[in-house]
Amino acid sequence: MLVTGADGFIGSHLCEMLISEGYEVRALCQYNSFGSWGWLDESAVSKDIEIVTGDVRDPFFCEKITQKIDIVFHLAALIAIPYSYEAPQSYIETNITGTLNMCNAALKNSCSRMIHTSTSEVYGTAQFVPISESHPLQPQSPYSASKIGADSIAMSYFNSFELPLTIARPFNTYGPRQSARAVIPTIITQIAAGAENIKLGDVTPTRDFNYVLDTCRGFISILKSKEAIGQTINIGSNFEISIKDTLLTIKKIMKSNVEFLFDEARIRPKNSEVFRLLCDNSKIKALTGFEPKYSIEEGLKETIEWFSEPSNLKRYKADIFNV
């Protein structure tokens, strides 16, 4: 099978889990002149994976790497919301055009399954909770707009060409290797680095946080369900917690006295903030039997332990606001 975005946070964990379950994996890492495979560089399973480098924006390349592939997990995307305000065109090219290229390549090469990765950000602020797959889509940032477009392109290939496709829609995934652009690693890395004060934006929004291994288990459960073909499926915990309470939990686990300070620069534009996300995960439960294994406390402890390792912490610039 092929995993795009394999060098990233979720993609690298997914590759490791797929290898542990006995699958043969071809991993697409974004080409760069450093020869880096991202998080797969030091993965224990890198020797068991066929690693290729390239770019999903190139349709010829996408067609090449899907040859002799049965299953495609398409995770490659630009995902940082703040940067999407600065460079929206790049999100269109990578997220929408990249998805078009991968769908077209999977169709041409007769792939038996394609799992396309969406995001709970496409729902915007909840109009009702818990948020089911029938919730209206609201483009509250260029990032979410690009993912709505990507999801639509993907589903059009199922409807128009019978590409055996499923849209997997994870809610807020966190865990080891996550970028410091996200709030949980932002807090953990600064506390671990000895910060006495941490600048934050709005801490009132709520999220349905999911430990990365649960998200990966959700992906694989969808793959194993033939009934999931042609469906859009949430992956979430059906548990809601505010950013503030998440931060206080981290502070307690790390036994820190850090003070949280408000920073206007970290506030999203007025109509862009997503104030509430709570997943209705009844569909994935019904189709696959999936149940999350990690509570928020258990997941945070695992995440804190990983980030607190000096060899991991040094990878992060804890004193810089990462967009």
Place of tokens 């090219």: 93
Q: Which residues does 299 contact at the CB level (< 8 Å), separation at least 6?
A: 174, 175, 209, 210, 211, 214
Give me the percent of the chain exceeding a pLDDT of 70.
98
Q: Over the stretch 100-134, which tens digit does the pLDDT of each residue have?
A: 999 999 999 999 999 999 999 999 999 999 999 99
Indicate the pLDDT class of residue 7, thresholds 50, 70 and 90.
Answer: very high
Contact 77/5 with Cβ under 8 angstroms? yes
* pLDDT on residue 282: 98
Domain boundaries, the chain: 2-175+211-235
Q: Looking at domain 2-175+211-235, which of 3.40.50.720, 3.50.50.60, 3.90.870.30, 1.10.569.10 is its CATH number? A: 3.40.50.720
Q: Over the stretch 51-67, which tens digit does the pLDDT of each residue have?
A: 999 999 999 999 999 99
* pLDDT on residue 323: 60
* pLDDT on residue 261: 85
Contact 23/15 with Cβ under 8 angstroms? no
Please state, rounded to an integer, the average pLDDT across all residues of the chain: 95
Contact 139/148 with Cβ under 8 angstroms? yes
* pLDDT on residue 199: 82
CA angle 218, 279, 236 (to 5 degrees): 20
* Two structure tokens written together for 257: 């006295």
For the cut 70, the answer to whether the pLDDT of residue 321 exceeds it is no
Indicate the pLDDT class of residue 277, thresholds 50, 70 and 90.
Answer: very high
